[in-house]
């Protein structure tokens, strides 16, 4: 491992080259739209939400992206594949800018799709990627969460892992009443940096039982040991294998770090978060920004 080893692990660290994006959910909060369109393909302006995650992973140096998909998600695979007819049409029409954008998408990374045959929870979805990941460390990016920043949260977590040898996950402070929506971590509060030792993890606790207001917003870098912990778990809440239960085991054995971040974050699995992402990203869009600012000022004057 390059650099200092303050935890005495003496590990020969492998770079993070693989990422798992769970995308097998039914998207019930967006029905009826998601009856035929995967929620990961719902557009943020002119880009499907999953593309933001793939690009974030690529900026972190990731080469292989494993999409854990369910039945009816073939459009995700098609999106990252080559479309000969479309590319031929754009080429003949002289629409070179659009053609280059299409080529950029299909050349981003190696996209590997694995079918999750049963919806048994996030932990099971991550475990489904084991045959491709093997014994390497890897990242997990939840498709409902879009984070805007360069190089990005996944890059930050990858660097934390490279420095310490410890699995590292993103954490953020949320209002106390919102802890019921997230996995919540207990941390050593004596840290004077943006890195905290995680002591415990509770999945969607009640306000009374939450150990803190530090929440997990869906970015992780794990050692391959997480697979061993997941494979030992029995289904828990709602009959699902919870990733947070395996994280507790990892925290008590190898160790687990919580890393804060400053990137913009949108929960696009929530209707308000989805609209918020579209509005705010439209404000910085090169074609729409000026029009959106004028529209919002006009709209505010009419409310």
Residues in the chain: 303
The full set of domains in the chain, from first to last, is 18-269 (3.90.550.10), 270-303 (no CATH)
Between strands 172-173 and 145-148, the pairing is unpaired
Report yes or no: 159 and 170 within 8 Å, Cβ to Cβ.
no
Weakest mean pLDDT among 26-30, 209-213, 248-252: 26-30
What mean pLDDT is predicted for residues 32-47? 89
* Confidence grade of residue 2 (pLDDT, cut at 50, 70, 90): very low
pLDDT per position as a tens digit, 123-180: 999 999 999 999 999 999 998 899 999 889 999 999 999 999 999 999 999 999 999 9
Non-local CB neighbours of 18 within 8 Å, separated by 6+ positions = 62, 63, 64, 65, 66, 132, 133, 136, 138, 139
Task: Indicate whether this model's pTM tops 0.85.
Answer: yes
pLDDT per position as a tens digit, 185-229: 999 876 567 889 999 999 999 999 999 999 999 999 999 999 999
Q: What's the chain's average pLDDT?
A: 89
Q: What pLDDT, on a 0 to 100 scale, did the predictor assign at position 250?
A: 94
* Confidence grade of residue 13 (pLDDT, cut at 50, 70, 90): low
C-alpha count within 13 angstroms, C-beta hemisphere, residue 286: 0
Cα–chain center distance at 21:
6
Q: Percent of the chain, pLDDT > 90?
A: 68
């Amino acid at each position: 491992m390059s650099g200092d080893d303050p935890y005495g692990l003496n590990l020969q660290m492998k770079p993070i080259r693989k990422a798992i994006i769970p995308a097998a959910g039914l998207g019930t909060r967006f029905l009826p739209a998601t009856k035929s369109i995967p929620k990961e393909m719902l557009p943020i302006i002119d880009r499907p939400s999953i593309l933001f995650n793939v690009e974030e992973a690529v900026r972190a140096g990731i080469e292989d992206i494993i999409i854990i998909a369910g039945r009816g998600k073939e459009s995700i695979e098609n999106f990252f594949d080559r479309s000969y007819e479309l590319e031929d049409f754009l080429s003949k029409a002289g629409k070179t800018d659009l053609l280059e954008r299409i080529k950029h998408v299909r050349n981003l990374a190696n996209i590997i799709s694995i079918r999750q045959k049963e919806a048994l929870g996030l932990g099971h979805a991550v475990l489904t990627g084991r045959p491709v990941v093997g014994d390497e460390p890897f990242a997990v990016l939840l498709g409902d969460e879009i984070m805007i920043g360069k190089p990005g949260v996944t890059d930050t977590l990858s660097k934390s892992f490279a420095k310490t040898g410890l699995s590292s996950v993103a954490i953020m402070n949320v209002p106390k009443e919102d802890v019921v929506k997230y996995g919540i971590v207990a941390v050593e509060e004596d840290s004077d940096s943006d890195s905290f030792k995680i002591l415990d993890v509770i999945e969607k606790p009640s306000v009374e039982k939450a150990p803190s207001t530090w929440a997990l917003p869906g970015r992780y870098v794990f050692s391959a040991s997480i697979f061993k912990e997941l494979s030992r778990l029995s289904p828990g809440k709602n009959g699902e294998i919870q990733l947070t239960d395996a994280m507790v085991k990892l925290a008590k054995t190898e160790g687990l770090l919580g890393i804060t971040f400053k990137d913009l974050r949108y929960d696009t699995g929530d209707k308000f978060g989805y609209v918020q992402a579209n509005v705010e990203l439209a404000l910085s869009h090169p074609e729409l920004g000026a029009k959106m600012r004028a529209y919002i000022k006009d709209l505010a004057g009419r409310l």
